[in-house]
Structure 1
Amino acid sequence: MYKLVLIFTFVYLQYVECAKILGVFIIPSISHQCVFQPIWKELSLRGHEVTVLTPNPLKDPTLVNLTEIDLEFTYEILRKSNLQDSMTKEQSMLQIINNMYKLLGDIAEAELSHPPVQSLIKDKNKKFDVMLVEFLHPAMYALSARFNCPMIGITSLGTFIVGHDAVGNPSHPGLNPDLLLPFMGSLGFFERLYSMSFAIWYRLYYYYYIIPQQDKVARKYISENLPYLGDIERNVSMLFLNVNPIIHPIRPNVPAIVELGKMHIQVKKPLPPDLQKELDASKEGVIYFSLGSNVRSANMSEELREKVIGALSELPYKVFWKWEDDYLPNQPKNVITRKWFPQQDVLNHRNIKVFLTQGGLQSMEEAISSGVPLVGMPFFGDQPLNVMKMVHLGIAKGIDIQEFTKDELKEALIEVAENPKYRNKVKEISNLLSDVPMTGLEKAVWWTEYVIRHKGARHLRSPAVDMSIYQYLFLDVIAFVLAVTVLSSFILYKITVFSFKLIRKSKTGAKQKTS
């Protein structure tokens, strides 16, 4: 039997085509990277030669086919950007998007100019069969043109309007507003007006400002001999989105869109002994409180912090709070702080009653997978929309960080903790999310190897990608119909006027003849 296994393994390895894969995952945020890490690890384990640019390298010596270029230094750029203040809802959407692309641009330039990245770019012997790239910042897409390989875009959440445009995916502003807009369900008139106006403005801003600007960056750091960046973007073979039809709005997708979902959910692991002891002893229940990796609790304003502390101190439960500093001012007796918690393992404990969260997608998936209801306190980005989704699903209550009072937060936490309808509903949603034919990781790996086998996926390309906007929206047809209608109406008008003149003239002539 042992010999048979060896023979089978040898024969199998002979027929597995090992590819060279480049992964470019630029955002210094573990909530982004934890979605991509399982993919590059699994591709490496399958025998592919994987090179990854990432701020969160795995550093696993057992992965012999993996080369990681460490971009951890970009976390300092993120810290200095003060993300919590630069993308708050008090700012206009123009300011938020400007700030977002300014930050992404700073990160991209720092990474592209990094000596190990430059060495990779300038290595004329380096070849890749496919590139997986975080589909957020266009300058990085140019690496696929530099290495002349197919490109697969991937995101840790959904994608913006321009991402859907890149693969010709429909993005109706009334049915599928951009993920930056806190709209869902049936939109009212002014919401539809705002969504349509935003869709037009964002495209103009992106295609006529961001793309030309980043085309210059790509030529500076990658190569002067590149196609236009807008053309490179629209040459993407497929787009992997970390979404699912249960907690995200239903939308039509072209074949080039692959929905993943639950990419980072791990197998249950034992808790550290001190946390296990605290949780086991907390028969009254525990509230778990974390604002994720991009929002620091320690950066909250004093006013906001005091309202939160006031609410938590009056709860009849213990609270585990991810607090990033050594000292929490006025820390209540029932609050236990740590700079880091093994979040998935904490949420899996039977005594966790509620997850108080900023509403990040990964946190939402972890809570649902563990059957824990939520109270959402969104700050920026897709968080307000995510919290709206949780409330709509009946598994959460939402808190407005600008307007809530101490008592409102306290009442929301107690309501979700004590009312069984929230926990029952989240278990129902969890069962729906788990009932799938393939895991997100299995789909990501299969479709990546599909693109490698076929040297791209041009045959899945939607014709909408190659249509101009006036053709896609039938503006030329509408203009033609209007022109024909106006011209016909004008001719009919002239004929009518001329006819009336003839009739009047003939009547006048008849009268004169009679006289």
Structure 2
Amino acid sequence: MIPIIINILWISLCLHGANSAKILGIFPAPSFSHQQTFQPIWKELSLRGHNVTVITTNPLGNNSLINLTEINVGFTYEHLLNSSFIQHLYEPDSVFRKVYDIHRLGLEINEAQIMHEKIQHILNENETKFDLILIQVVQSFTDLTFGYAAKYKCPVVGISSLGVFFHFHDFLGNPTHPVVSPDMMLGFAGKINFFQKLQSLLYNLWYRLFYYWYILPNADRVARKHFGDDMPYLGDIERNMSLLLVNSNPVIHAVRPNVPNIVEICRLHISEKKPLPKDIKDYLDSSTQGVVYFSLGSNVKSTYLSVEVRQEIIKALGELPYNVLWKWETDHLPDRPPNVLTRKWLPQQDILGHPNIKAFVTQGGLQSIEEAITNEVPLVGIPFITDQPSNIKRIVELGMGQMVEQQTLTKEKLKKAILEVAGDPEYKENVSKAKSIMDDQPMKGVDKAVWWIEYVIRHNGAKHLRSQAADMSFFEYFMIDVALFLFACIFAMYYLVAKIVSAAKQCTNSNNKVKRN
């Protein structure tokens, strides 16, 4: 009996090995919230028998995952902290400046990571082959990483932890109507007015000119230094992407049309509850009047707030009838009120699951909002960048929270918003309704993502999903050639009719002249 079992196990292992693939994952953004979203995917791929190599700023460090090799490029957090993007993060800069800073920072970080010793070893080792490349496509942070696809000549799956910029939709032939699907950088939500429509249209045009005529050619020049001058144009490589997985929340994000090779996933990072640290648990348990949890996420740090804004927040929190748990990134919070407890790091998902949490003051990142909805906690949003303003506006629209803009934040405004959200049960009821929608999914986000990744591997790129619109030029897609032809026909007809009328008039005038004579 034992030999039979051994043979069955051996055959199973052989069959499993035959279906395994070599996968290269590239997740360059130095942001824990983004990396936290993707970690379950490369973990699950490893557990399913795939040989996975990951370039990441936040390795799992799990030695039990024997099929997983992680290359730590966390040193680029220093690039982020010293960048002009962070310096301007808390200033009311124009959307154009923010987009420019994101592109420039992304290129700098990508290039610094490529020069890492272990990555150079992989690139210079000609024996290395991959069956699929998985690339994080956060906004325009990752153009340079598509050079890996040119080197290894294998299918590429893009994956985003939030929305993506227009050009990724263009590469897959996905429609980007400026009114139906305005860009997340504009911060619009719900039905937009006429001037917002005009702004969205002009931004649509500006962004494409800026990306295709400046950003992409610049990234292509840098890519050729590292991947060879014989590589195809970087835009053509990106256009050949097989699949794009977009972390899109069915509650927060508006419905939009997608081509078959753009797949929406959500709640990738939601995990099982773990026991809280004893000091945090004791603090929450003893706060029978309730607790307000305050965290601005991993990118927007509370310590970077201006002194004026910080003082207004401290005054508002100090006057609340609740205790406050604040993720504050240094050892000391100046003028800390007695009802406020600070910690440099906090297990957010587990804290939000505590029954004494009354409200969550957040910057409005998608992952934080998903965690709040999962735990049925109403929100007060102080948005800063990218999708945060539109996320919070949507929260307000759905009656799940309130928004306080950091540019106009005062003690009175913040205090009023927190008291209203924490004290009115209608906010929690609306969050519970949203949770029921989010929970009603055919499978978990991680399982859906992994299924589609393996689908691309099974079908060697799944070219049958590709829309023909992806291979059309701008003139073809918008039928500008047809419009010009119709305009030419109309002009020709107008010209012909004008000539006929002119000739008829001349003929009539001539006849009248003859009669008078």
Q: Normalization by structure 1: what TM-score? A: 0.97
The structure 2 residue matched to 1:360, chosen from 365, 376, 379, is 365
Amino acid at match of 1:230: G
* Secondary structure of 2:181's aligned partner: coil
Amino acid at match of 1:164: H
Partner of 2:79: 77
Separation in 2, partners of 1:237, 1:5:
40
Deviation at 1:158, TM superposition (A): 1.2
CA deviation string 1:229-272 (max 9, x = no partner): 01001000000001133220100000001111000000011111
Judging changes above 3 Å, is the alpha-carbon distance between structure 1 residues 141 and 496 closer, same or farther for their aligned structure 2 residues? same
Partner of 1:20: 22
Partner of 1:258: 263
Separation in 2, partners of 1:7, 1:402:
68
Partner of 2:195: 190
User: Does the CA-based 8 Å contact 1:374-1:396 persist in structure 2?
Assistant: yes
CA deviation string 1:409-450 (max 9, x = no partner): 001000000100000110110111010001111111111111
Decide which moves more: 346-355 or 200-209: 200-209
Separation in 2, partners of 1:74, 1:226:
26
User: Does the CA-based 8 Å contact 1:84-1:379 persist in structure 2?
Assistant: no
Amino acid at match of 1:184: A
Matched, 1:209 2:214: yes
Amino acid at match of 1:239: L
Separation in 2, partners of 1:280, 1:288:
14
User: Does the CA-based 8 Å contact 1:319-1:334 persist in structure 2?
Assistant: yes
Separation in 1, partners of 2:322, 2:5:
55
The structure 2 residue matched to 1:44, chosen from 25, 31, 46, is 46
What do you get for the CA RMSD once the two structures are aligned? 1.4
The structure 2 residue matched to 1:504, chosen from 483, 504, 509, is 509
User: Does the CA-based 8 Å contact 1:87-1:99 persist in structure 2?
Assistant: no
Unmatched 5+ residue regions in structure 1? none
Separation in 1, partners of 2:153, 2:85:
35
Separation in 1, partners of 2:240, 2:367:
29
CA deviation string 1:371-397 (max 9, x = no partner): 000000011121111111111121010
Matched, 1:173 2:178: yes
Judging changes above 3 Å, is the alpha-carbon distance between structure 1 residues 282 and 88 closer, same or farther for their aligned structure 2 residues? closer
Deviation at 1:13, TM superposition (A): 2.6
Deviation at 1:8, TM superposition (A): 5.1
* Pairing of 1:302-341 with structure 2 (within 5 A): 302-341=307-346
Partner of 1:97: 99
Deviation at 1:507, TM superposition (A): 2.0
Deviation at 1:4, TM superposition (A): 7.9
The structure 2 residue matched to 1:137, chosen from 120, 134, 142, is 142
Unmatched 5+ residue regions in structure 2? none
Matched, 1:64 2:71: no
Separation in 2, partners of 1:152, 1:5:
38
Separation in 2, partners of 1:84, 1:221:
27
Matched, 1:382 2:387: yes
CA deviation string 1:346-399 (max 9, x = no partner): 000000000000001110000000100000001112111111111112101000
Separation in 2, partners of 1:455, 1:168:
20
CA deviation string 1:35-91 (max 9, x = no partner): 110000000011110000001011111000111111010111111126443245621
Judging changes above 3 Å, is the alpha-carbon distance between structure 1 residues 8 and 416 closer, same or farther for their aligned structure 2 residues? farther
Percent identity between matched residues is 48
Separation in 2, partners of 1:67, 1:382:
32
Partner of 2:110: 108
The structure 1 residue matched to 2:246, chosen from 237, 241, 245, is 241
Judging changes above 3 Å, is the alpha-carbon distance between structure 1 residues 484 and 347 closer, same or farther for their aligned structure 2 residues? same
Judging changes above 3 Å, is the alpha-carbon distance between structure 1 residues 91 and 2 closer, same or farther for their aligned structure 2 residues? farther
Separation in 1, partners of 2:5, 2:218:
56
* Secondary structure of 1:268's aligned partner: coil
User: Does the CA-based 8 Å contact 1:87-1:100 persist in structure 2?
Assistant: no
Separation in 1, partners of 2:207, 2:344:
38
Separation in 1, partners of 2:291, 2:3:
54
User: Does the CA-based 8 Å contact 1:287-1:353 persist in structure 2?
Assistant: yes
User: Does the CA-based 8 Å contact 2:188-2:389 persist in structure 1?
Assistant: no
Q: Normalization by structure 2: what TM-score? A: 0.97
* Secondary structure of 2:358's aligned partner: strand
